[in-house]
Amino acid sequence: MELSYLFLYFVLILLILAGGICLFKLRHNHKSIGDQENLPPGSLGWPFIGETIEFLKAENFVYDRMKQHSPDIFKTKILGEETAVICGPNGNKFLFSNYDNIFTAFRPHSMQKLFRSYNNHAATPVNITRDAEVQVTRAPGFLKPEALVGYVGKMDSITQQQMRIYWEGKDEVKAFSLAKTLTLTLACNFFMGTEDPEHVARVNRSFYDITLGMHSIPANFPGTKFYKASKAAAAVRKELRAVIGEKKAAIASGEQTVDILSHMIVATDGSGKHMPEAEIADKIMGLLVAGYSTVATAMTFFVKYVGERPDIYHKVLAEQREIGASKKPGELLDWNDMQKMKYSWNVICEAMRLTPPLQGTFREALTDFTYAGYTIPKGWKVYWTVSTTNKNPKYFPDPEKFDPSRHDETNSFPAYTFVPFGGGPRMCPGKEYARLVILTFVHNLVKRFKWEMVLPKERIIGDMMPIPEKGLPIRLYHH
């Protein structure tokens, strides 16, 4: 068990042994929150920690409570916050439709501490919200399809280079590790305009610890996930400040730059002030994490599921070979090629249905609201999870079967039952970027290799983000 959990149990035992008035008051106050009129069913768990340990460790935390309390909504306390978990397609629709008037984005305290900046005049943390990062990418339209059209060839070129360096000539590789290296290389190029392998390598070494610590108890002492993540975040910030310095010098020399980092450097607020370097570094770190972890995870589970199904592999290969045959020697992929990869995208969607790259996200209630007959108080957090519908046989018959045909245009499933990128006005702004990155990877992988699983029964670990325990080792067979 992680040291932070042991520490929390130890503190709890001391409190119980101390007994008396202090603990009685803590329990009484905790109970009074849970007894407010018309709250959803559920439990707030222990004082202080609530049900955090179960949330982070129990594979079926949400499913079990849906069965126990309600399939629509239940209350809990996780990561230090009283939280309502809204479930099912109706819950998805409600959350997506009411973002601006009822909800705002919320990051758990662990993420707030990792993705924070300091102003220039005091050592006061400034929380870099997810909305602030999204605004950076939305405003100049970097992630819109029309802006991405011209980037497909660059994606293909970088992916081919990565395949030559890390995949070709190898008999066995760890797919998760190489997917992370590729996605981070692409993200560094797209967001920062850099391909410097030394920068990428130094950032890559730290990102895994950051992603593990994003949804953890923020206990900052040696041995905990959060402690490792804090050290890793500091190392990434240092590296990003160096990149920012290089980018500023390039801009000053008149070099033409069109990446998001350059936009952030030259942009000014209403008073003509530029964004502080520390804030730029933290926003870029958040964007890199968003363009790295979930994309690499989706790639990895494509490799896993297709490696287990030779019939599906051959269908993907046939589609990609047909696209390759239409290209001149050395010609890179383009936007039109991506639109032809319909079956490959169906396979990717089915992989995301069975193993969502991210289990869920948090919102904060801006006002009291009522849902499914229950009232959620202002300030409570709302947890949205993509997977409350993904394996429901009501929507996906034989839900454990890997069946890409579910996603054919001729088939359909009810609205709001498959939402890997969210929905509504706050749908993931990087959806199209992620689609292009993953399809480019698929094209280059299947054209070069066939593969099989080294560990067919490899365990999947992780809480919010699924991770193959041994990195998904695969045996490669070159075409």
Q: What is the full per-residue pLDDT of the chain (479 aa) written as tens digits?
A: 455 444 444 444 443 333 333 333 344 344 444 446 799 999 999 988 899 988 887 778 999 999 999 999 999 999 889 999 999 999 999 999 987 789 988 888 888 888 875 433 334 444 445 455 455 545 557 777 888 898 999 999 999 999 999 999 999 999 999 999 999 999 999 988 887 788 888 888 888 888 888 888 888 889 899 999 999 999 999 999 999 999 999 999 988 878 889 988 988 877 888 888 888 998 888 888 877 889 999 999 999 999 999 999 999 999 999 999 999 999 999 999 999 999 999 999 999 999 999 888 899 999 999 999 999 999 999 998 887 899 999 999 999 999 999 999 888 888 999 998 887 766 777 889 999 999 999 999 999 999 999 999 999 987 678 899 999 999 999 98
Cα–Cα distances in angstroms (integers) from residue 249 to residues 246, 253, 265, 282, in the given order? 5, 6, 11, 20
**C-alpha distance from residue 353 to each of 340, 396, 464 (Å):** 22, 10, 15
Token digits of residue 462 = 């992780």
Domain with 423, as residue range(s), is: 116-478
Do the domain assignments include residue 24?
no
| Residue 385 near residue 85 (C-beta atoms within 8 A) | yes
Rounded to whole angstroms, how far apart are CA atoms 33 and 15? 20
Strand pairing class (103-106; 360-365): antiparallel
| Assigned domain for 85 exists | no
Flag whether 43 is in a domain.
no
Residue 40, domain member (yes or no): no
Residue 178: inside a domain: yes
Please choose, from the candidates 132, 128, 133, 125, the residue with its C-alpha nearest in 3D space to the C-alpha of residue 111.
128
Instruction: Give how many domains the chain has, as a whole number.
Output: 1
Q: Is residue 341 part of a domain?
A: yes
450 lies in some domain? yes
Please tell me the distance from the alpha carbon of residue 14 to that of residue 106, in angstroms, as a whole number: 32
pLDDT tens per residue across span 74-90: 999 998 899 999 999 99
Check if the beta carbon of residue 231 is closer than 8 Å to that of residue 207.
no
- Single out the residue of 240, 300, 259, 256 nearest to residue 437, CA to CA: 300
Q: Look up the CATH number of the domain holding residue 262.
A: 1.10.630.10
Alpha carbon distance 284, 286 (integer Å): 5
In this prediction the pTM is: 0.87
